């Protein structure tokens, strides 16, 4: 049966993907599961936190966004984002200037967060209709100061630092700017585009974990 467009739902993941992901390493404290956006591996002195996320929308700043969505996943574990790897999959006929601009976007975002780019891959891929980016962020957390999204408990209070629907609203506004401005007006769409400045939760998450009393955190990705 063909899968529908979009993120694969939890039921399909449980049926098609997870049964084939064998874990045979006691150092893996948090592995792949529904709702968990980062892995946690126990090292002798620290916890290593790793996350991977793609950017598939036709956005203006996909390189910048790829850094921040991956950094968010690492930070909401309680780890400082430190190292980034990025893969660019480019459509045939892409201009050199566009590729260089992607690299500049990644560099700018990494500079904002104090992150180093340590690797990646770039290729022109036959059959693509637009640029695709896959990023991976790595960070470290103290062994006694990190949380998982699965750590929420009954009775916990929910604190929202910015707003609901931030990233999804921003992506829709940029991806479908012309249609939405025609239907909803320029002012509303321009305000939605300004949500870009609220997408990073790195500062929020690291402040929360250092303050203490946190059982679980999650970022605004796709919501």
- Give DSSP secondary structure letters for 15-49: IIIGGG-----TTEEE-S-TT---EEEE-SSEEEE
At residue 222, the pLDDT reads: 55
Helix (H, G, I), strand (E, B) or coil at 9: coil
Crossing angle of helices 96-113 and 62-75, in 10° steps, is 30
At residue 223, the pLDDT reads: 45
User: pLDDT tens digits, residue range 151-200?
Assistant: 999 999 999 998 888 888 988 898 889 999 999 999 999 999 999 889 99
Give the distance from CA 47 to its chain's centroid. 19
Please give the structure tokens belonging to residue 204.
């929020």
- Residue 18: count other Cβ atoms within 10 Å of its Cβ: 13
- Token pair 């309680």 in the structure block, residue: 78
Record: fold of 26-155: 60s Ribosomal Protein L30; Chain: A; (3.30.1330)
Contact 141/47 with Cβ under 8 angstroms?
yes
pTM: 0.91
**DSSP per-residue letters across 71-132:** HHHHHTTTPEEEEEEEEEEE-TT--HHHHHHHHHHHHHHHHHHT-EEEEEEEEE-TT-SS-E
Interatomic CA distance for residues 78 and 198, integer angstroms: 19
Contact 3/12 with Cβ under 8 angstroms?
yes
The domain ranges of the chain are 26-155
Contact 137/74 with Cβ under 8 angstroms?
yes
Residue ranges of the chain whose pLDDT lies below 50: 223
At residue 1, the pLDDT reads: 82
């Amino acid at each position: 049966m063909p899968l529908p467009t979009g993120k694969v739902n939890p039921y399909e993941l449980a049926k098609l993907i997870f049964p084939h992901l064998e874990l045979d390493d006691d150092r893996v404290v948090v592995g792949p599961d529904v709702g968990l956006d980062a892995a946690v591996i126990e090292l002798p002195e620290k916890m290593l936190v790793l996350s991977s996320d793609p950017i598939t929308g036709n956005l203006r700043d996909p390189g910048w966004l790829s850094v921040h969505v991956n950094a968010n996943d690492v930070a909401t574990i309680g780890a400082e984002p430190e190292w980034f790897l990025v893969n660019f999959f480019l459509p045939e006929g892409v201009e050199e200037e566009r590729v260089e601009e992607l690299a500049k976007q990644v560099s700018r975002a990494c500079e904002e967060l104090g992150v180093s780019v340590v690797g990646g891959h770039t290729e022109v891929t036959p059959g693509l209709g637009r640029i695709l980016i896959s990023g991976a962020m790595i960070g470290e957390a103290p062994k006694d100061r990190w949380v998982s999204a699965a750590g929420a408990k009954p009775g916990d209070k929910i604190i929202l630092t910015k707003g609901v629907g931030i990233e999804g609203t921003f992506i829709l506004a940029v991806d479908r700017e012309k249609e939405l401005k025609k239907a909803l007006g320029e002012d509303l769409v321009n305000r939605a585009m300004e949500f870009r400045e609220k997408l990073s939760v790195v500062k929020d998450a690291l402040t929360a974990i250092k303050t203490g009393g946190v059982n679980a955190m999650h970022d605004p990705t796709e919501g």
